Chain A
Amino acid sequence: MARGGAPGGTAVNLAEVPAGSHATVTAIGGARAESVRLHELGLLPGTRVSVVRIAPLGDPLELRLRGYSLSVRRALARTIEVDDVGRDAR
């Protein structure tokens, strides 16, 4: 997977991606039990993921990937590094 690098060259995590934008996963950190499960749910390096919306109280996030919607909390989203952030076409 080629690393495009975020604008400004700093690493971006999924919690920083605004709602209505998409990005490509580059790495997953965090606890192994959780990162393995994210992999098995199809969220792995190279997967394109959209942040569809944020819950009314600010957490959790709704992600869209592989044709389905997955909800994760910000804390977990912070362990997911991404690049190639862009606005979703609506």
Chain B
Amino acid sequence: MSDATHAERRKLCLFGNPNSGKTTLFNRLTGARARVGNYPGVTVERREGSLRLPNGEEVEVLDLPGTYSLAPRSPDEAIASAALFEGDTDSVWVVVVDANALARTLYLATLVAETDVPLVVALNMVDEVEGRGGRVDVGPVERALGVRCVPIVASKGEGVDALLEAVIAAKPRSPLALPALGPAAGPLARVADGVASAFPSVRAGLVPGLARRFVLATDAELGELPDAIARPTREAIDAGAGEALVRVRYALVDDLTARTVDLPATTRSASERIDDVLTHPWLGTGIFLVVMGLIFEGLFVGAEPVVSVIERAVSAVGGFVAGVMPEGPLEGLVVDGVIAGVGNVVTFVPQIALLFLLLGVLEDSGYLARVAFVLDRLMGAVGLNGRAFVPMISGYACAIPAVMATRTIENAKDRILTMLVIPLMSCSARLPIYVLVTAAVFSGTKPVFGFIAVGAVVLLAMYTLSLVAAVGAAAVLRRTVLRGPRPTLMLELPPYRWPTGRNLAFGVWRRVRVFLTDAGSLILALSIILWALLSYPRDGAAHARFESAREQAETMLAGPALDARMHQLQDLEAQHGLEHSVAGRVGRAMEPALRPLGMDWRVGVGVLGAFAAREVFISTLGTVFGIGDADETSAPLRDVLTRAKRDDGSKLFTPLSGVALMVFFVLACQCMSTLAVVRRESGSWKWPVFLFGYMSVLAYVGALLVYQAGLAMGFS
């Protein structure tokens, strides 16, 4: 289908408060056909999909961001509000309201009724009201707003057919009049006159609604309006028109609620009783720690088997292709560039799927809002949002899903801040580096206090450093780059509900698909570029020398001796090829900058290679030291590192230079996949570039301080 046919279709816009079940209805209507993207320039998710109405007409369904008002206080709400005031009268608006909280959710329906767009009210979750012994009557809402109101249960699909019939029948209306405005009526009418004269292209049916929205706007927004609107708006505000407007609307909402939902006088709901436990000072904190521990454990342990299956499959495919393709540059590109690059992308999928499944359960059940409630004060102390907690701890497993998980943070600035500090959390890909370097430099060291292994002390120190760095960076960035007053907390705590498998599955599937299509293609491209930098230019003369050495070996040696010699030649040729490559030359050029950190050019090449994925540091280091097929437990590589000498004959890997190198890896953003996913989630290159810059400076200065201070104190 081309975009032109999409553009010609009528739109069905879903509008509603957060937690009203709007997205559940969207999933019901569009199923797996939904597409997810970003609104241009902002980190707000755009969800749309197609639907065939019962009369055969195809419409585009748009799931607008949840909002409480048309006077926005966040980028998400601004998009929802703008969509309404830019909407044509062909589009149909379905406002989803929660029958359990009609006294608030009906407010948004009255706002849309104050415009002329075709409107249907979907009265959701009527089953819960009926389950509590209540009854609903849609008549009063239909008569008062002049629209159809259809009871539905979005999670079970009940009432959806009737809703779609009402959508087919929906027509442009005359806007709902608010008769009781009293002394506010005059000032509001003057704002409407200003809107009509400043924006002549706005049709008459939107003018009163737009005028009222401006009266409730922030001062910053008013400053950007033409004077013809801003002046009467300020006068209306001074006359108290804003509060009067909301009061009149809520008087209508209160009256309609009382006549729509008939509930017996209730005792405390199940949700309130659950909260007595889950937000209890001691019990609640204990349960919270257990839940977070399970998530942490699940992320580390749960994804691992799938990841290793994928890694084995990728290397098997690579091996098979290498076997059938003629040896040469094309084989190198396909096996080491493309197939390894695809592997780099796919290995993230299990962790992303798992994290979004767990997050989906937390979010849909209502517990995530309680996490934010319980942690608001603690996280606020360093300028972070309460909702940043789960993404932050999942950063200990992997930054890629963790950065994607920042979507659960509504405030855009808080979201960016969290994205910028997550890569400082010591992810599991850094662990092999700590293991290898510790083994190389501390192998002979006695346990601390006689019984604590040095490796354990090193690991604890690195994980602590990473947490301190992340928290410190958040505090500093909040006061500098992302300065601004802390956003006011007005957080709805939705009732506890069972998550539905359908919503969880769609949520996970969309996240994985977005990752594969958007971030994945960028990661693949960067993998291929890095492979080329580590492989080219090739040294033809050297290749000829190695070929003749191989021929010579074949004539002089046989059996195990020949195998050993051929293996040695292969490692030596790989070592020479890396030295000769662009990366090898860059590594040499960087040596003067690396020497004060206790590193030499070979480590520099490893650091460049680590950019593809931190694990690649080890295989690149293996190649540059002439050891093929190295991993972190490989004894030959460890021994070579332990013996490696600098040009002046001193040892390259000492306890001090080893610690400096590990500190560098804790603090550096040596991961192109992280940068690719921050680019995707923040919507611009500005943030990944800043992220890479600040973390590189932090890593360099950190390693420099450790090494130079260590030397000055007499360590080696």
The chain A residues found within 8 Å of chain B, CB to CB, are 32-42, 44-45, 52-53, 55-60, 62, 64, 66-73, 76, 90
Contacts and interface: CB of A to CB of B under 8 A. Distances in A.
Interface in B327-386: 369, 372-374, 376-378
Given A59-B377, A70-B491, A76-B489, A33 B219 contact: yes
A37 B489 contact: no
B73 A37 contact: yes
B491 A36 contact: no
Q: Enumerate the 10 nearest inter-chain pairs by beta-carbon distance, A residue then B residue, closest first.
A: A66-B103, A69-B493, A57-B377, A39-B246, A56-B281, A71-B491, A68-B101, A33-B218, A40-B69, A42-B104
Given A33-B219, A62-B493, A41 B104 contact: yes
A33 to B, nearest CB: 4
B617 interface: no
Contacts of A71: 369, 372-373, 376, 489-493
Most interface-central of A34, A38, A69 (chain B CB within 10 A):
A69
B275 interface: yes
B585 to A, nearest CB: 54
Contact of B374 (A44, A56, A66): A56
B107 A40 contact: yes
A68 B369 CA distance: 13
A42 B279 contact: no
Contact of B243 (A44, A58, A66): A44
Contacts of B71: 36, 40
B101 A67 contact: yes
A40 B104 CA distance: 9
B105 to A, nearest CB: 8
B490 A70 contact: yes
A69 B242 CA distance: 24
A56 B284 contact: yes
Interface of B: 68-69, 71, 73, 100-104, 107, 216, 218-219, 237, 242-243, 246-247, 250, 253, 268, 272, 275-276, 279-281, 284-285, 369, 372-374, 376-378, 488-495
A45 B71 CA distance: 20
Contacts of B373: 55, 60, 62, 71
10 contacts: A33-B73, A42-B103, A42-B253, A52-B272, A59-B377, A62-B275, A71-B493, A72-B488, A76-B489, A76-B490
Contacts of B275: 52-53, 62, 69
Contacts of B102: 67
Contacts, number: 120
A41 B107 CA distance: 9
Contacts of A37: 68-69, 73, 488, 490
A60 B218 contact: no
Nearest to A67: B101
A28 to B, nearest CB: 8
Contact of A73 (B100, B247, B488): B488
A73 B376 contact: yes
A64 B100 CA distance: 13
A76 B490 CA distance: 9
B78 to A, nearest CB: 14
A55 B279 CA distance: 7
A40 B376 contact: no
Most interface-central of A32, A41, A67, A73 (chain B CB within 10 A):
A67
Given A44-B250, A53-B275, A36 B216 contact: yes
A36 B279 contact: no
Contacts of B216: 36, 40
Contacts of A70: 490-493
